[in-house]
Copies of this chain bind each other. A is one copy, B any other.
Protein backbone atom coordinates (compact mmCIF):
# COMPACT_ATOMS: atom_id res chain seq x y z
CA UNK A 1 0.00 0.00 0.00
CA UNK A 2 1.44 3.34 -0.95
CA UNK A 3 1.83 6.35 1.32
CA UNK A 4 -1.01 8.39 -0.17
CA UNK A 5 -3.53 5.59 0.25
CA UNK A 6 -2.52 5.17 3.88
CA UNK A 7 -2.82 8.89 4.54
CA UNK A 8 -6.22 9.13 2.88
CA UNK A 9 -7.47 6.07 4.75
CA UNK A 10 -6.32 7.39 8.11
CA UNK A 11 -7.75 10.84 7.41
CA UNK A 12 -11.07 9.15 6.62
CA UNK A 13 -10.93 7.21 9.91
CA UNK A 14 -10.69 3.83 8.19
CA UNK A 15 -9.80 1.39 10.97
CA UNK A 16 -8.48 -1.29 8.68
CA UNK A 17 -5.96 1.17 7.24
CA UNK A 18 -5.12 2.55 10.69
CA UNK A 19 -4.34 -1.01 11.77
CA UNK A 20 -2.10 -1.47 8.73
CA UNK A 21 -0.20 1.71 9.57
CA UNK A 22 0.31 0.58 13.17
CA UNK A 23 1.66 -2.73 11.92
CA UNK A 24 4.15 -0.78 9.80
CA UNK A 25 5.23 1.19 12.87
CA UNK A 26 5.80 -2.04 14.79
CA UNK A 27 7.87 -3.55 12.02
CA UNK A 28 11.55 -4.29 12.51
CA UNK A 29 12.12 -3.54 8.82
CA UNK A 30 13.48 -0.02 8.66
CA UNK A 31 11.74 0.90 5.42
CA UNK A 32 8.30 0.00 6.79
CA UNK A 33 8.95 1.81 10.03
CA UNK A 34 10.13 4.90 8.15
CA UNK A 35 6.90 4.90 6.14
CA UNK A 36 4.94 4.97 9.40
CA UNK A 37 7.09 7.89 10.61
CA UNK A 38 6.41 9.78 7.38
CA UNK A 39 2.68 9.31 7.81
CA UNK A 40 2.77 10.57 11.40
CA UNK A 41 4.88 13.55 10.33
CA UNK A 42 2.34 14.33 7.60
CA UNK A 43 -0.45 14.74 10.14
CA UNK A 44 1.68 16.85 12.52
CA UNK A 45 1.32 17.19 16.30
CA UNK A 46 -2.13 16.72 17.87
CA UNK A 47 -1.90 18.96 20.91
CA UNK A 48 -5.54 18.84 21.94
CA UNK A 49 -5.78 15.15 22.65
CA UNK A 50 -5.92 13.50 26.06
CA UNK A 51 -3.51 10.66 26.81
CA UNK A 52 -4.32 8.55 29.84
CA UNK A 53 -2.17 5.78 31.28
CA UNK A 54 -3.96 3.06 33.23
CA UNK A 55 -2.03 0.52 35.21
CA UNK A 56 -2.68 -1.80 38.11
CA UNK A 57 -2.17 -5.23 39.54
CA UNK A 58 -3.56 -8.23 37.68
CA UNK A 59 -7.01 -8.88 39.10
CA UNK A 60 -7.79 -5.26 39.96
CA UNK A 61 -10.31 -5.23 37.14
CA UNK A 62 -8.44 -2.92 34.77
CA UNK A 63 -10.18 -4.09 31.60
CA UNK A 64 -13.66 -3.92 33.09
CA UNK A 65 -12.76 -0.48 34.40
CA UNK A 66 -11.62 0.67 30.95
CA UNK A 67 -14.78 -0.76 29.38
CA UNK A 68 -16.90 1.18 31.89
CA UNK A 69 -15.08 4.53 31.67
CA UNK A 70 -14.82 4.28 27.89
CA UNK A 71 -18.54 3.73 27.33
CA UNK A 72 -19.38 6.40 29.89
CA UNK A 73 -17.29 9.01 28.08
CA UNK A 74 -18.61 8.09 24.64
CA UNK A 75 -22.18 8.47 25.92
CA UNK A 76 -21.42 11.78 27.68
CA UNK A 77 -19.78 13.37 24.68
CA UNK A 78 -20.47 12.50 21.05
CA UNK A 79 -17.29 14.29 19.93
CA UNK A 80 -15.14 11.74 21.69
CA UNK A 81 -13.34 8.94 19.92
CA UNK A 82 -11.39 6.53 22.12
CA UNK A 83 -8.41 4.35 21.26
CA UNK A 84 -7.33 1.72 23.79
CA UNK A 85 -3.74 0.51 23.45
CA UNK A 86 -2.52 -2.37 25.60
CA UNK A 87 1.05 -2.82 26.73
CA UNK A 88 1.66 -6.18 28.30
CA UNK A 89 5.27 -7.34 28.40
CA UNK A 90 4.26 -10.57 30.10
CA UNK A 91 2.04 -11.68 27.25
CA UNK A 92 4.93 -12.96 25.13
CA UNK A 93 4.16 -14.80 21.93
CA UNK A 94 0.75 -16.18 22.77
CA UNK A 95 -0.53 -12.75 23.90
CA UNK A 96 -2.96 -14.65 26.09
CA UNK A 97 -3.82 -11.95 28.56
CA UNK A 98 -4.18 -9.24 25.94
CA UNK A 99 -6.72 -11.19 23.95
CA UNK A 100 -8.39 -12.03 27.24
CA UNK A 101 -8.49 -8.31 28.07
CA UNK A 102 -9.94 -7.43 24.70
CA UNK A 103 -12.83 -9.83 25.06
CA UNK A 104 -13.46 -8.37 28.52
CA UNK A 105 -14.01 -4.96 26.92
CA UNK A 106 -17.31 -6.10 25.46
CA UNK A 107 -19.13 -2.82 25.16
CA UNK A 108 -16.20 -0.73 24.05
CA UNK A 109 -15.03 -3.16 21.37
CA UNK A 110 -18.51 -3.08 19.81
CA UNK A 111 -18.70 0.73 19.76
CA UNK A 112 -18.19 2.61 16.49
CA UNK A 113 -16.21 5.41 18.16
CA UNK A 114 -13.77 3.08 19.90
CA UNK A 115 -10.68 1.32 18.60
CA UNK A 116 -8.85 -1.37 20.62
CA UNK A 117 -5.36 -2.57 19.75
CA UNK A 118 -2.78 -4.60 21.68
CA UNK A 119 0.85 -3.69 21.04
CA UNK A 120 2.86 -6.52 19.54
CA UNK A 121 5.86 -7.36 21.68
CA UNK A 122 7.98 -7.91 18.60
CA UNK A 123 11.48 -9.15 19.17
CA UNK A 124 12.98 -5.98 20.61
CA UNK A 125 13.59 -5.75 24.30
CA UNK A 126 12.06 -2.54 25.59
CA UNK A 127 10.35 -1.97 22.28
CA UNK A 128 6.85 -2.17 23.66
CA UNK A 129 6.36 1.37 24.92
CA UNK A 130 8.18 2.72 21.87
CA UNK A 131 5.79 0.94 19.50
CA UNK A 132 2.85 2.02 21.61
CA UNK A 133 3.93 5.63 21.21
CA UNK A 134 3.80 5.43 17.43
CA UNK A 135 0.49 3.56 17.56
CA UNK A 136 -0.84 6.38 19.75
CA UNK A 137 0.28 9.06 17.31
CA UNK A 138 -1.35 7.18 14.43
CA UNK A 139 -4.60 6.85 16.38
CA UNK A 140 -4.53 10.59 17.06
CA UNK A 141 -3.95 11.24 13.37
CA UNK A 142 -7.04 9.12 12.66
CA UNK A 143 -9.12 11.40 14.90
CA UNK A 144 -9.04 9.49 18.17
CA UNK A 145 -8.86 12.36 20.64
CA UNK A 146 -8.77 10.23 23.79
CA UNK A 147 -6.09 7.58 24.16
CA UNK A 148 -6.18 5.01 26.96
CA UNK A 149 -2.92 3.12 27.40
CA UNK A 150 -3.34 0.02 29.50
CA UNK A 151 -0.39 -1.71 31.10
CA UNK A 152 0.34 -4.12 33.93
CA UNK A 153 2.05 -2.56 36.92
CA UNK A 154 5.04 -4.86 36.73
CA UNK A 155 8.06 -5.36 34.53
CA UNK A 156 10.81 -3.30 32.98
CA UNK A 157 8.94 -0.96 30.70
CA UNK A 158 6.29 0.07 33.16
CA UNK A 159 7.65 3.44 34.15
CA UNK A 160 7.96 4.28 30.46
CA UNK A 161 4.18 4.36 30.10
CA UNK A 162 4.24 7.55 32.18
CA UNK A 163 6.48 8.99 29.45
CA UNK A 164 3.66 8.44 26.95
CA UNK A 165 0.76 10.00 28.79
CA UNK A 166 -0.62 13.19 30.31
CA UNK A 167 -2.43 11.55 33.21
CA UNK A 168 -1.48 8.42 35.12
CA UNK A 169 -4.14 6.18 36.71
CA UNK A 170 -3.37 3.39 39.16
CA UNK A 171 -6.17 0.84 39.65
CA UNK A 172 -6.03 -1.19 42.87
CA UNK A 173 -8.09 -3.73 44.75
CA UNK A 174 -9.82 -2.81 48.01
CA UNK A 175 -7.31 -5.01 49.87
CA UNK A 176 -5.20 -2.18 51.21
CA UNK A 177 -1.66 -3.07 50.30
CA UNK A 178 -1.59 -6.85 50.48
CA UNK A 179 -1.70 -7.38 46.75
CA UNK A 180 0.96 -4.80 45.90
CA UNK A 181 4.01 -7.03 46.19
CA UNK A 182 4.35 -7.55 42.45
CA UNK A 183 4.08 -3.88 41.60
CA UNK A 184 7.16 -1.92 40.65
CA UNK A 185 8.57 0.47 43.22
CA UNK A 186 8.02 4.09 42.37
CA UNK A 187 4.76 3.57 40.46
CA UNK A 188 2.62 4.70 43.35
CA UNK A 189 4.37 8.07 43.47
CA UNK A 190 3.76 8.54 39.74
CA UNK A 191 -0.03 8.21 40.03
CA UNK A 192 -2.20 11.27 39.39
CA UNK A 193 -5.18 9.28 40.61
CA UNK A 194 -5.51 6.05 42.56
CA UNK A 195 -8.73 4.18 41.83
CA UNK A 196 -9.87 1.62 44.38
CA UNK A 197 -11.99 -0.52 42.09
CA UNK A 198 -14.42 -3.33 42.94
CA UNK A 199 -16.11 -1.12 45.53
CA UNK A 200 -19.27 -3.17 45.37
CA UNK A 201 -21.21 -5.54 47.60
CA UNK A 202 -19.36 -6.58 50.74
CA UNK A 203 -16.15 -4.91 49.57
CA UNK A 204 -17.60 -1.41 49.32
CA UNK A 205 -16.91 -0.50 52.95
CA UNK A 206 -13.38 -1.90 52.76
CA UNK A 207 -12.77 0.04 49.53
CA UNK A 208 -13.79 3.32 51.10
CA UNK A 209 -11.52 2.66 54.08
CA UNK A 210 -8.62 1.80 51.77
CA UNK A 211 -9.24 4.97 49.77
CA UNK A 212 -9.13 7.03 52.95
CA UNK A 213 -5.85 5.42 53.99
CA UNK A 214 -4.23 6.10 50.61
CA UNK A 215 -5.52 9.63 50.64
CA UNK A 216 -3.81 10.30 53.96
CA UNK A 217 -0.65 8.45 52.91
CA UNK A 218 -0.25 10.45 49.70
CA UNK A 219 0.03 13.68 51.69
CA UNK A 220 3.33 12.41 53.02
CA UNK A 221 4.76 11.75 49.57
CA UNK A 222 6.64 13.98 47.14
CA UNK A 223 3.90 13.87 44.53
CA UNK A 224 1.44 15.66 46.78
CA UNK A 225 0.84 18.93 44.98
CA UNK A 226 2.60 22.13 45.88
CA UNK A 227 4.35 24.43 43.45
CA UNK A 228 7.04 23.91 40.87
CA UNK A 229 8.27 27.43 40.27
CA UNK A 230 5.06 29.38 39.80
CA UNK A 231 3.06 26.37 38.68
CA UNK A 232 0.52 24.92 41.08
CA UNK A 233 0.97 21.18 40.79
CA UNK A 234 -1.83 18.64 40.69
CA UNK A 235 -2.66 16.99 44.00
CA UNK A 236 -3.15 13.25 43.37
CA UNK A 237 -6.67 12.05 44.08
CA UNK A 238 -8.01 8.79 45.47
CA UNK A 239 -11.48 7.56 44.50
CA UNK A 240 -13.53 4.36 44.71
CA UNK A 241 -15.31 2.84 41.74
CA UNK A 242 -17.30 -0.21 40.80
CA UNK A 243 -16.84 -0.88 37.13
CA UNK A 244 -19.38 -3.69 37.18
CA UNK A 245 -22.05 -1.59 38.91
CA UNK A 246 -21.03 1.58 37.07
CA UNK A 247 -20.39 3.51 40.30
CA UNK A 248 -17.86 6.33 40.60
CA UNK A 249 -17.19 6.40 36.85
CA UNK A 250 -18.57 9.93 36.55
CA UNK A 251 -16.30 11.00 39.40
CA UNK A 252 -13.30 9.58 37.56
CA UNK A 253 -14.01 11.75 34.50
CA UNK A 254 -14.65 14.78 36.71
CA UNK A 255 -11.16 14.41 38.17
CA UNK A 256 -9.62 13.89 34.73
CA UNK A 257 -11.42 17.03 33.56
CA UNK A 258 -10.10 19.05 36.51
CA UNK A 259 -6.59 17.79 35.82
CA UNK A 260 -6.76 18.64 32.13
CA UNK A 261 -8.16 22.11 32.83
CA UNK A 262 -5.44 22.85 35.40
CA UNK A 263 -2.54 21.57 33.31
CA UNK A 264 -3.70 23.27 30.11
CA UNK A 265 -4.12 26.58 31.98
CA UNK A 266 -0.74 26.45 33.73
CA UNK A 267 0.96 25.13 30.58
CA UNK A 268 2.33 22.07 32.36
CA UNK A 269 0.55 19.73 29.92
CA UNK A 270 2.41 21.27 26.98
CA UNK A 271 5.64 21.43 28.97
CA UNK A 272 5.33 17.79 29.97
CA UNK A 273 4.75 16.68 26.36
CA UNK A 274 7.83 18.65 25.34
CA UNK A 275 9.94 16.91 28.02
CA UNK A 276 8.55 13.58 26.80
CA UNK A 277 9.70 14.37 23.26
CA UNK A 278 13.26 14.84 24.54
CA UNK A 279 12.95 11.58 26.43
CA UNK A 280 11.89 9.68 23.30
CA UNK A 281 14.58 11.27 21.15
CA UNK A 282 17.29 10.15 23.61
CA UNK A 283 15.65 6.78 24.04
CA UNK A 284 15.41 6.19 20.28
CA UNK A 285 19.03 7.22 19.86
CA UNK A 286 20.03 4.80 22.59
CA UNK A 287 18.06 1.95 21.02
CA UNK A 288 19.57 2.60 17.60
CA UNK A 289 23.07 2.67 19.09
CA UNK A 290 22.56 -0.54 21.06
CA UNK A 291 21.08 -2.23 18.01
CA UNK A 292 24.50 -1.93 16.37
CA UNK A 293 26.14 -3.96 19.12
CA UNK A 294 24.53 -7.30 18.31
CA UNK A 295 24.06 -9.62 21.27
CA UNK A 296 25.80 -7.41 23.81
CA UNK A 297 23.75 -8.88 26.65
CA UNK A 298 25.44 -12.24 26.16
CA UNK A 299 28.83 -10.50 26.14
CA UNK A 300 28.02 -8.69 29.38
CA UNK A 301 26.92 -11.93 31.04
CA UNK A 302 30.08 -13.73 29.91
CA UNK A 303 32.40 -10.90 30.99
CA UNK A 304 30.78 -10.50 34.41
CA UNK A 305 30.90 -14.26 34.97
CA UNK A 306 34.64 -14.10 34.27
CA UNK A 307 34.97 -11.49 37.01
CA UNK A 308 35.46 -8.45 34.80
CA UNK A 309 34.42 -5.09 36.20
CA UNK A 310 31.23 -3.81 34.51
CA UNK A 311 33.14 -0.74 33.31
CA UNK A 312 35.84 -2.95 31.76
CA UNK A 313 33.24 -5.22 30.16
CA UNK A 314 31.59 -2.22 28.51
CA UNK A 315 34.90 -0.86 27.24
CA UNK A 316 35.92 -4.23 25.80
CA UNK A 317 32.57 -4.86 24.09
CA UNK A 318 32.87 -1.53 22.32
CA UNK A 319 36.49 -2.19 21.36
CA UNK A 320 35.58 -5.53 19.82
CA UNK A 321 33.10 -4.07 17.38
CA UNK A 322 35.31 -1.21 16.29
Of the listed stretches A81-89, A249-257, A286-294, name the one at the interface; the rest are far from the partner chain: A286-294
Chain B positions within 8 Å of A44 at CB level: 307
Chain A residues engaging chain B, CB cutoff 8 angstroms: 34, 37, 40-41, 44-45, 130, 134, 137, 176-177, 180-181, 183-190, 210, 213-214, 216-217, 219-224, 226-228, 233, 274, 277-290, 293, 296, 300-301, 303-304, 307-315, 317-318
Whether B315 and A284, one on each chain, are in contact in the complex, defined by CB atoms closer than 8 angstroms, is: yes
Task: Please pick, from B137, B185, B309, the residue contacting A186 in the complex, using a CB distance under 8 A.
Answer: B185
Whether B278 and A310, one on each chain, are in contact in the complex, defined by CB atoms closer than 8 angstroms, is: yes
Task: Please pick, from B183, B233, B290, B314, the residue contacting A222 in the complex, using a CB distance under 8 A.
Answer: B183
Whether B289 and A224, one on each chain, are in contact in the complex, defined by CB atoms closer than 8 angstroms, is: no
Task: Please pick, from B190, B217, B318, the residue contacting A216 in the complex, using a CB distance under 8 A.
Answer: B217
7 nearest A-B residue pairs (beta carbon): A186-B186, A284-B314, A217-B217, A281-B310, A280-B310, A181-B226, A285-B314
Using known A-B contacts A177-B219, A223-B185, determine if residue A281 contacts B293 with beta carbons closer than 8 Å: no
Chain B positions within 8 Å of A186 at CB level: 185-186, 189-190
Chain B positions within 8 Å of A45 at CB level: 307
Q: A242: shortest Cβ distance to chain B, in Å?
A: 21
Whether A304 and B278, one on each chain, are in contact in the complex, defined by CB atoms closer than 8 angstroms, is: yes
Chain B positions within 8 Å of A300 at CB level: 278, 281-282, 285
A174 to B53, CA, bound (A): 34
Whether A222 and B188, one on each chain, are in contact in the complex, defined by CB atoms closer than 8 angstroms, is: yes
What is the chain B residue whose CB lies nearest that of A134?
B311
Q: A66: shortest Cβ distance to chain B, in Å?
A: 22
A282 to B282, CA, bound (A): 15
